[in-house]
Amino acid sequence: MITTNNHIHLSIASSVLLLLGVAFAEDHKVAGERLVQAAQQASDIRVEGAPSFRLEGTFRIIPKAPGKESTGRYTEIWHSQTKWRREVETSSFHHVEIGGGNRRWVVATGTDRPNAAFDRDLTLLPNPINLKITGTSKRHLNNATATCINFETEWSKGTDCLDPQTGVLLLREESITRGDARHSSCSYKNHEKFGDHWFPRSIRCLTNRGDDIELTISKLAAELSVEEGLFTKPQDAIESVNCLGHVVPPRAIYSPDPKYPDHHNESPIVVLWMTVGLDGKAQDPRIARSAGKDFDQPALDMVRQWRFEPSTCDGVSVPVQINIEVNFRKF
């Protein structure tokens, strides 16, 4: 059984309601910053000092391209920001990611990587990226008038909409402003209490590129005993940094287009999974979503030529795993 502190609950809820009520009486940017902070306090079950937990859910992926829907499982065991384990599993793919101290390890086996299941917004994973608040607005959501905060990052623009009663996140929309146009939105419903926080049990993420996904949380419970062996480096794992500070993702500085194969007329997308090393080169690129061997090999050949400014953690260059979408167009 999970015990709760009613005083803390009332304090957080009262603070959120007060902020929502004065949002438009204050400077919109200042009010937006305060609302974002309150929403994070209301929903962040992974904040340092929070109780250990086990989270389990099932997801359904709805493909944009012709093909069958697929299903899988998401499991997370969280003890602290330096001790956690996440797994994504389908009938043909298994991904294990572990945070141990300041290191992070990944092991992936199988084919047909379900890229939509790795969206951080899907499970409200913290994203340590600086937001610039640009204003607030109102929107009708879930039979209530939500307060929405508009924001910008170095490479995107977006909106977070919050519940007027609890301050929890109801909707997140984001558009990438660099490279190919991409728009995504995630909606969060059926929030339930866990300790001092609220967490959604139903999440749906849509995008104009890639597949849509629905996640249903079946279990979120305190994990009273933690098996230490779950947080050690697995055999054959790819190692990188478990960054707890400000992250800047890698940026492509040389990105030639792929060679279009002969005797084709379609415009497929190949998704690659790889590590960007400290030298700015792609390390061990792999096919995450295939478009057939005639397109997969040119995509791999292309990304080996790319060069990046490495990712940084608090200003220090670090290796990082990323996905790359390779778009084939016949001109």
pLDDT at 1 over 70: no
State percent of the chain over pLDDT 90: 36
Total-model pTM: 0.78
Confidence of residue 213 (pLDDT cuts 50, 70, 90): very high
Dihedral pair phi/psi, residue 208, rounded to 5°: -80, -10
The average pLDDT across 208-220 equals 92
**Side-chain-facing half-sphere of 272: CA atoms under 13 Å:** 24
Place of tokens 């415009």: 267
CB 106 within 8 A of CB 254: no
SS3 for 86? Answer: strand
Q: Which pLDDT band, with edges at 50, 70 and 90, does 8 fall under?
A: very low
pLDDT at site 269: 82
pLDDT of residue 26: 52
3-state secondary structure of 23: coil
- For the cut 90, the answer to whether the pLDDT of residue 241 exceeds it is no
Task: Cite the DSSP H helix spans in 159-307.
Answer: 293-303
Q: For the chain, how are helix, strand and coil distributed in percent, rounded to 5?
A: 15, 45, 35
The lowest-confidence range among 51-60, 66-75, 316-325 is 316-325
Q: Which residues contact 186 (CB under 8 A, 6 or more apart)?
A: 119, 121, 122, 171, 172, 203, 204, 205, 206
The distance from CA 221 to its chain's CA centroid, rounded to whole angstroms, is 21
CA-based angle 110:115:117, to the nearest 5? 100
CB atoms within 10 A of CB 289: 23
pLDDT at 216: 98
> Looking at residues 23-45, what average pLDDT do you find?
73
CA-wise closest residue to 295 among 266, 315, 321, 320 = 266
The residues facing 327 across adjacent strands are 269
Highest-pLDDT range among 145-159, 194-208, 224-238, 243-257 = 194-208
Mean pLDDT, rounded, for 220-238? 88
Predicted confidence (pLDDT) per residue in 97-139, tens digit: 999 988 899 998 888 888 889 888 899 887 656 678 888 889 9
DSSP letter string, 246-287: -EE--EEEE-PPPPPPTT-----EEEEEEEE-TTS-EEEEEE
132-141 and 144-152 beta bridge pairing: antiparallel
What pLDDT digit, counting tens, does each position of 58-80 carry? Answer: 999 998 777 789 999 999 999 99
pLDDT range class, residue 5, cuts 50, 70, 90: very low
State the pLDDT confidence band at 276, using cuts at 50, 70 and 90.
Answer: very high
Residues 201 and 188: their CA atoms lie apart, in Å, by 8
Give the CATH architecture of domain 1-244: Clam (2.50)
Instruction: Quote the radius of gyration of the chain (alpha carbons, Å).
Output: 21
Q: Is the pLDDT of residue 237 over 80?
A: yes
CB atoms within 10 A of CB 130: 11
What CATH number was assigned to the domain covering residues 245-327? 3.30.2420.10
What was the pLDDT predicted at 165? Answer: 83
- Taking alpha carbons only, the member of 120, 104, 140 closest to residue 215 is 120
Instruction: Let me know how long the chain is.
Output: 331
Domain boundaries in the chain? 1-244, 245-327
% of the chain exceeding 70 in pLDDT:
89
| Cα angle value 62/63/68 (rounded, 5°) | 85
Confidence of residue 263 (pLDDT cuts 50, 70, 90): confident
pLDDT value for 287: 84
| 122 residue type, one letter | L
What does the pLDDT average to over 164-178?
86
